[in-house]
Amino acid sequence: MRPFIITLLLIAACAKTETQQRPSVVTINGAGATFPNPIYSKWFSDYNKLHPNVQVNYQSIGSGGGIKQMTAQTVFFGASDMPMTDEQLESAPGPVLHFPTVLGAVVPAYNLPNVTGLKFTGPLLADIYLGKVKKWSDAAIAKVNPGVSLPNLDITIVHRSEGSGTNFIFCDFLSKVSPEFKQKVGASTSVNWPVGVGAKGNEGVTGMVRQSPGAIGYVELIYALQNNIPIGDVQNAAGQFVRASLDSVTAAAAGAAANMPADFRVSITDAPGKDAYPISSFTWILLYQNPTDKERGRIMVDFMKWALADGQKLAAPLGYAPLPKEVVDREMQALQRVILTLSGAKGKDLKMRMASQLEMLRLLRGSA
Amino acid sequence: MTRSHDDRIFGLATGVFAALVLLIVVGIAFELSRQSMLSIEKFGWSFWTGKVWDPVSGVFGARPFIWGTLYSSLLALILSTPIALGIAIFISELSPRVLRQPLAYLTELLAAIPSIVYGLWGMFVLTPIIRKVELLTPEALRKFPLFSGPPVGVGMGTAAIILSIMVVPFTSSVAREILKNVPSAQREAAYALGATRWEAIKVAIGYGKSGIIGAIMLGLGRALGETMAVTMVIGNAPVLSLSLFKPQYTMAAVIANEFTEAADELYLHALIEIGLLLFIITIFVNIASRLLIWSTKRRTIRPVIFPIVAEEESAA
């Protein structure tokens, strides 16, 4: 008998908390990219302060995982460092919209005793990562760095060991500037590196580069800034050598804005513009165009509007480049495409269900 | 209720638990095969032999990972076995009584350190030391395949050292128990025949041989499945090489590294098939070690029966 009573009590307790919470707090689950996790956490907690009834849980499980969970509809929204491919879009149960949130950049970091201020061209970086340029004293490096005394040291190539959006951004750039890299390696979150050592995470790559004289690696801009390691300037599409900074990354997005497709699925590596840093990228939040849950859909659209306006001011202190105004304006427009009203057969269905529920309530009241 | 009735229920209950183990093993094998079907169908046996792992063009071959797993575990075993047996013999046979407990406790403490801590230690302490050793290696020696490769510090050798440190406490504590259980009559008989201390210890080791092999195999099981510490120091490059200095890769490490971002179906299936391969290889290594223990057991008078367990870390 006792277990039975305990069970009853438990059920009662559960029921009670549920009825208490349901009307007040709406929980929205999202999952995806790790790169924007710090800014998303900040955004969601700040948004929660403004709207105490909205609680967003974001799990940074990786871009690929985010797309998968979103497609399987286990989370309400996804986040990714690379746009969904056409195949992925087709396998999703409904049309998915991409919304750029902030910008990131990948920088080449190196460790050469007594050498700073190195410059790289895209093809040079590609040749280094293809294993064709093996020594720091190679003529190809000397050519773009006149006046720098380069040591006769082997280049130790460090790349990421795990699948990552950082890989995608870096390889996407190298594939654009080097046909050979595109053919031999290509761009993806995980690629088959012909040479080098794989280190785990941005911190692993940073650690490896710092430890080994002669090493070159690529890390997210934030890590390079925080760890204060020498980073190289990279030549952009306009032929300028540009150092990565929040301004030069935003400039890349502004340069790419003119030719931006309506769905925002665009790579902005090697973007046009004199000041554009070439290894820059958006990171996206993914929403269903016709969300099944209209209440949560409405909240997410409101959140996006806040993130694109007030939220952008929080980006720079955390090391993310804010979106240029052109992109924000276009996104505000695009947010209207999210269908927030019930329409079609589904809506009718729901209305009917609501009507029958109302009727039942009336009946209950009548009997009481 | 009768006594026999109780017995039957007890027997049935334990039987169900035993069957559960079987069910879990079969379930894992089934689920791993089912979820890697795309890759099995597409590549067949070439998955075992293929050398290319290219997620971009969708070509997957697991040979470098199989090689890396087996090679690193073997190297770790070669390094750890003498040390572990030395510790076990010292603690059980030679050590002063006051040192016995603290020493045993300290070796077991090594087993309690999380593997990520070993990995960090390997990355920040061991790797720079190995790099110095690599830089000091004479050019003549580096021509040998065993020592070729760039002096980057991370690589097969570093991974093997980390693994062997992680394996030592397992092997040594089991071997110590085995030696403790050797009847003192064995040693006394040896002394009675005029044996020296070293000879008496040899007799004790001979007596417990099958158990000691079991202890070593327990270490092997641990080494095969280790993920985190290895991936942080092995260099993570799918390369087939004998070299201790070259970066290589293991099966567990590639699953842990690439699983989160594998959005493509075939890619995901290929990664799960690596898990299946690791499962199969672990089973075969276990069978082989069973046979080894069994064959030594038959030659000893009274076997020390000891279970061997293969530890597999779930991919984080």
Q: Cβ separation of B153 and A163 shorter than 8 Å?
A: no
pLDDT band per the 50, 70, 90 thresholds, residue B308:
very low
Query: Which member of A162, A188, A192 has the closest CB to residue B53?
Result: A192
Nearest-Cα distance to chain A for B48, in Å, is 18
Work out the average pLDDT over B112-128: 92
> What 3 state SS string does chain A have?
CHHHHHHHHHHHHHHHHHHHHCCCCEEEEEEECCCCHHHHHHHHHHHHHHCCCEEEEEECCCHHHHHHHHHCCCCCEEEECCCCCHHHHHHCCCCEEEEEEEEEEEEEEEECCCCCCCEECHHHHHHHHCCCCCECCCHHHHHHCCCCCCCCCECEEEEECCCCHHHHHHHHHHHHHCHHHHHHCCCCCCCCCCCCEEECHHHHHHHHHHHCCCEEEEEEHHHHHHHCCCECEEECCCCCEECCCHHHHHHHHHHHHCCCCCCCCCCCCCCCCCCCCCCEEEEEEEEECCCCCHHHHHHHHHHHHHHHCHHHHHCHHHCCECCCHHHHHHHHHHHHHCCCCCCHHHHHHHHHHHHHHHHHHHHHHHHC
Q: How does DSSP assign B142-197, residue by residue?
A: GGSGGG-S---S-SHHHHHHHHHHHHHHHHHHHHHHHHHTS-HHHHHHHHHTT--H
Tokens at A183, concatenated: 């053919």
Q: Cβ separation of A197 and B52 shorter than 8 Å?
A: no
pLDDT in tens, chain A (368 residues): 455 555 555 555 545 444 444 457 899 999 998 889 989 999 999 999 999 999 999 998 888 888 989 999 999 999 998 899 898 899 899 999 999 999 999 999 999 988 888 999 999 999 999 999 999 999 999 999 998 999 999 999 999 998 888 899 999 999 999 999 999 999 888 899 999 999 988 888 998 999 889 999 999 998 888 888 899 999 999 999 999 999 999 999 998 888 888 899 999 999 998 999 999 999 999 999 999 889 999 999 999 999 999 999 999 988 899 999 999 999 999 999 898 887 644 444 555 555 555 555 555 555 44
pLDDT band per the 50, 70, 90 thresholds, residue B263:
confident
Q: Cβ separation of A192 and B253 shorter than 8 Å?
A: no
Q: What pLDDT is recorded for position A142? A: 94
How far is Cα B93 from Cα B201, in angstroms, rounded to an integer?
7
Q: Cβ separation of A197 and B236 shorter than 8 Å?
A: yes
Q: What pLDDT is recorded for position B301? A: 46
What is the sign of the dihedral through the CA atoms of A45, A47, A51 and A57?
A: negative
Q: What pLDDT is recorded for position B16? A: 94
Q: What pLDDT is recorded for position A345? A: 44
Q: Which domains does chain B have, with CATH numbers?
A: 36-315 (1.10.3720.10)
Exposure of A243 by Cβ count < 10 A (0-12 exposed, 13-18 middle, 19+ buried)?
Answer: middle
Query: Which member of A161, A196, A207 has the closest CB to residue B231?
Result: A161
Strand, helix or coil at B59?
strand
Nearest-Cα distance to chain A for B282, in Å, is 24
Phi, psi of B151 (to 5 degrees): -80, 75
Nearest-Cα distance to chain A for B260, in Å, is 6
Q: Which of B71, B242, B221, B239 is nearest to B159 (CA)?
A: B71
How far is Cα B191 from Cα A242, in angstroms, rounded to an integer?
81
Q: What pLDDT is recorded for position B137? A: 85
Query: Which member of A61, A186, A193 has the closest CB to residue B260?
Result: A61
Radius of gyration of chain A (CA): 25
How does pLDDT run across B144-157, given as a tens digit for each residue? 888 888 888 899 99
Work out the average pLDDT over B11-17: 92
Nearest-Cα distance to chain A for B232, in Å, is 6
Q: Which of A202, A272, A196, A275 is nearest to A233 (CA)?
A: A275
Q: How many CB atoms lie within 10 A of CB A247?
A: 15
- Amino acid, single-letter form, for residue B175: A
Establish if A223 touches chain B: CB-CB under 8 angstroms. no
Q: Cβ separation of B123 and A204 shorter than 8 Å?
A: yes
Query: Which member of B53, B152, B263 has the closest CB to residue A68?
Result: B263
Quote ipTM for the complex: 0.78
Work out the average pLDDT over B235-249: 91
Q: What pLDDT is recorded for position A344? A: 47
Q: What is the DSSP letter of B53?
A: E
Q: At what angle do helices A294-308 and A37-50 cross, to 10 degrees?
A: 110
Tokens at B249, concatenated: 């890769």
The whole-chain average pLDDT of chain B stands at 88
How far is Cα B53 from Cα B63, in angstroms, rounded to an integer?
9
Query: Which member of A88, A191, A204 has the closest CB to residue B263?
Result: A88
Instruction: Tell me the C-alpha to C-alpha distance, in Å, between residue B130 and each of A13, A135, A216, B11, B235.
Output: 59, 22, 19, 56, 13
Nearest residue in chain B measured CA to CA from A162: B257
